[in-house]
Amino acid sequence: MNSGGKRPVRAIVLTGNGTNCEREMAYGCRLGGADVVDIIHISWLLEGEVSLSDYDFLNLPGGFLDGDDMGAARASANRFKYRKIKGTNRVLFDEILQFIEDGKLVFGVCNGFQLLVKMGLLPGEEREGRFEQVVTLSHNDSGKFEDRWVTLKVNSLSPCVFTKGMDQVYLPVRHGEGKFYPQSEEILEAIKKKDLQVMVYCHPETGKPTDIYPYNPNGSVEAIAALTDGTGRVFGLMPHPEAFLHRTNHPRWTREDLQEEGDGVKFFRNAVDYLRGRI
């Protein structure tokens, strides 16, 4: 793909330890316009065989990381924060912080969102030079795994670069631990004050946030389904945009007049467009 004379946008999609949506995520990056899309096993980063610095767009897809032992994405968060990269004194978390500081993008979906939350990168509450976890994604109120489609309202005031120009989207959820819950009322108010709540579960008829099941499939506080950090460049959400890239992914594709392109492509295109303008 021609990148207009500028260096190509390079996307990396991590896989390994239970991830199962990496191919769909990579396809979303390609449809969004990324020039290079590599699916990389996390061990290659930890062994120093691949460097995160060679990429512009980090994708953390969904799956069942480490079998969701110790809670969804907890074991993987520990791996990122404490296991040193071979031959260095740095951990992968340090590389991600540098990646963000360099103005690049991070996209976490489902398990990827849980991972960003448990590493403390969302909503990005830094205390005394350390990122701490201040929100969680806990077990669904229904007490079961939820596999259904939901309507989402986009917060137009959010700084998130992934959702620019978007209003309402329809995406599937597939999770057992997706209930957004803040550590305290103060944390929740800080998130709302900065408009870091990017999307909320809404009623499909009114378009307003809801705590009614199944429109809010997990009981998330304030119906929050997605977060960004203060830069707008780190983004995590529970629903799966990579699962709606084409009209035939839609549950009613034989009964409704739908556009060929699914709602999920917009997130990836916004990311690549942002990087094109930055590079």
Query: What are the residue numbers of the active site?
Result: 110, 240, 242
Q: CB–CB of 92/99 below 8 Å?
A: no
